[in-house]
Structure 1
């Protein structure tokens, strides 16, 4: 795409809806940093007259939802001022202890078998099972939340049912926490927001937090495991435990970022970007992974512009693409490590950038869950190895989230820890 089209690529969404995909690092930095020219106000979109009611990307681009993701200006700040203090109240030590407990419980289910498929059995279950308690759900509801959230990520026949379950679950949660507040995110949101927010607003913000907290974190775990199992630079980490977990996690945010495309920004007036003429109301997709591969970051070089590129596919995983999505966090300035981005270089866009970047408390929650999951797994299964040739591994067929469909491994069977199930019952 870069060689043919340059830093800003004309693309087509389902139904031949035109948009622009920004894959230049500097251009993405400009777009995410200028909220006046490149606004989050999706009401400006010049394609709304052409969008049918059943358009598959409406869950990601929906101007009718009063949530932290779909609001701008003072209204967005109102949601941020309510959500961020609630996230800041998460106790880091308690979060890690619970993440270790859930990780041990999940590993106990397969550690004696000598083999496992780590995406379905571990990476895609750990984040939501941990977040369930943090958000305010009883532990017993965690497995059902995990099934519903993963159905959304798959975008298959169960996606709608998963969304309906999550909506009903969040509705019950808001009502329960109004009646009996606890030490959780939902209760703190209600305490901070009070009567200034409707139940619908609380529900939608809780959905955004939970979806964006689970989906990219699950892929962060899965992609980090894939890297450590297939790249010889991390072989010592597998036998030595936790040594380079942080290095692998940071490299994944650069080279294999869990959210590779986000929607979006809309131009508030006619303008130019990387030589492209953009009309007022045009949609820009944020090509996070594309920007990380920009030769301006890795090495000097410039691609030439060209014509249209085809862009297809979608998934309900786009629910993860909220202002808390794109992983979680903030990009920074240009940074290079000779083609390999070294540990500590956080100038990536995996956490987005600018006013709508993921708040720092959400970044910390995600990193704690992902790192704990990786460390506990390596501690428990020190001789873990990939069970299939690396070239047979397959990605999820979504242009938005970047994760593995499966990660089969083998290892020496080990005894269980006797950890209780996440719902509190004996294993």
Structure 2
């Protein structure tokens, strides 16, 4: 009897995704049939080698959602439309030479960010956030810290004012997690980006948006707005979860105890382990088969949707037989994707600087920090796409604020 497709939803993605991925691999193999919202079928690629194949061949496994053979079954209010949309113009959906031009534009705009200035700004924002809680002796390091830090830093790089940060956080969280609010969140974020673009066309500045507008490849305003939305969404929530997941690991695993008392070497180790074992980006949509193909023992039809099972591939026992993947700073994980549509290198570097700075400031500013609840009581959001804590309550000895506005 053929095992039934697995619904890509439910509490197990919150409570035990690693166990669920193992079960899916055991029952279905490296490529598993799954059901999205409204019962829409897709394939989840769980095998490391199979995922490498899919992400290495953009012709056979296309980003063109117009190839999908299930569009007639998709309702107008489908909550995944902000992620899987027909005719979207963003960098993640373009292919070939046009994609390479847009990727080069994005990389060039991000490469000019001074890493020392970025770190200094991230540290100022982090200190400002810690100032609001350090005198209390307790805090939630997710809702009061990690959820606020990346978007404020990225907004500054793009050219937004500090005052616009809260509305961006709301729009992004609705777009990423909201389901029924996802389309509204996307609309609000697009409106904010369009306003900023109009402002910078009139008055350029030293920011990412102005540098993208100065590109000479003739991109439309709509294309640049779409790319800015993708960049901000991809940079905000995964970095937030990278901070939260790394802090959780360091607070609950004795191997990282030294870092809680002034050490620094194991911060990078904890962050790398999270990318292998507790990746903020678990699954990604998607690729569409341009013709019939066999993959991982499955017959994939032309137009079928394939989801990239990043965490499933990271934990594939075929490549993790001795646990060596976590040693020596090995970064052969899929947490930033792979192939020409992977997260651009400059964006990865920005995320790492923001996350590491955020963790270091917590450890510097909050002495004798400890979990306020047993580890078993920590909860994750119920999402198959992004994995992060809903809260990280901690206690510590109250300390005075350092003061001073962020630049």
Deviation, structure 1 residue 160: 4.4
Contact between 1:246 and 1:343, CA under 8 Å: does it hold in 2? no
Equivalent residue for 2:102, pick from 79, 102, 105? 79
| SS state at 2:211 partner | helix
Q: How many residues matched? A: 384
Deviation, structure 1 residue 64: 2.0
Change (3 A) 1:201 1:193: farther
| SS state at 1:192 partner | coil
Equivalent residue for 1:31, pick from 40, 54, 65? 54
Q: Under a length normalisation based on structure 2, what TM-score does the superposition of the two structures give? A: 0.91
Give the match for residue 107 of structure 1: 130
Deviates more, 1:159-168 or 1:268-277: 159-168
Query: What is the distance in 1 between the residues matched to 2:70 and 2:181?
Result: 29
Contact between 1:226 and 1:407, CA under 8 Å: does it hold in 2? yes
In the alignment, structure 2 segments of 5+ residues that lack a partner are 1-23
Query: What is the distance in 2 between the residues matched to 1:188 and 1:127?
Result: 21
Q: Does 1:140 align with 2:163?
A: yes
Q: Which runs of structure 2 are paired with 1:264-413 in the superposition (5 Å)?
A: 264-299=286-321, 337-338=323-324, 341-413=326-398
Equivalent residue for 1:165, pick from 188, 194, 198? 188
C-alpha distance after superposition, 1:271-321 (max 9, x if no partner) = 10111111111111000000111111222xxxxxxxxxxxxxxxxxxxxxx
Equivalent residue for 1:41, pick from 64, 67, 75? 64
Deviates more, 1:384-393 or 1:142-151: 142-151
Equivalent residue for 2:79, pick from 56, 62, 82? 56
| SS state at 1:15 partner | helix
Query: What is the distance in 1 between the residues matched to 2:61 and 2:181?
Result: 35
Deviation, structure 1 residue 63: 2.4
C-alpha distance after superposition, 1:54-97 (max 9, x if no partner) = 12211111122211122112222232132211111111111010
Deviates more, 1:10-19 or 1:212-221: 10-19
Query: What is the distance in 1 between the residues matched to 2:382 and 2:283?
Result: 13
Q: Under a length normalisation based on structure 1, what TM-score does the superposition of the two structures give? A: 0.87
Change (3 A) 1:63 1:78: farther
C-alpha distance after superposition, 1:186-206 (max 9, x if no partner) = 000001147x12211111111
Deviation, structure 1 residue 141: 1.6
Contact between 2:66 and 2:87, CA under 8 Å: does it hold in 1? no
C-alpha distance after superposition, 1:204-227 (max 9, x if no partner) = 111111111111100100100111
Q: Does 1:418 align with 2:403?
A: yes
Query: What is the distance in 1 between the residues matched to 2:132 and 2:202?
Result: 36
| SS state at 1:371 partner | helix
Q: Does 1:198 align with 2:220?
A: yes
Equivalent residue for 1:66, pick from 72, 78, 89? 89
| SS state at 1:183 partner | coil
Contact between 1:250 and 1:343, CA under 8 Å: does it hold in 2? no
Change (3 A) 1:267 1:197: same
Q: Does 1:243 align with 2:265?
A: yes
Cα root mean square deviation, aligned: 1.5
Give the match for residue 10 of structure 2: none
The runs of at least 4 aligned residues of structure 1 exceeding 3 Å deviation read 156-162
Deviation, structure 1 residue 356: 0.7
Query: What is the distance in 2 between the residues matched to 1:47 and 1:189?
Result: 35
C-alpha distance after superposition, 1:213-257 (max 9, x if no partner) = 111100100100111111111111111242311000000000000
| SS state at 1:244 partner | helix
Query: What is the distance in 1 between the residues matched to 2:127 and 2:179?
Result: 30
C-alpha distance after superposition, 1:169-196 (max 9, x if no partner) = 11111011111111110000001147x1
| SS state at 1:36 partner | coil
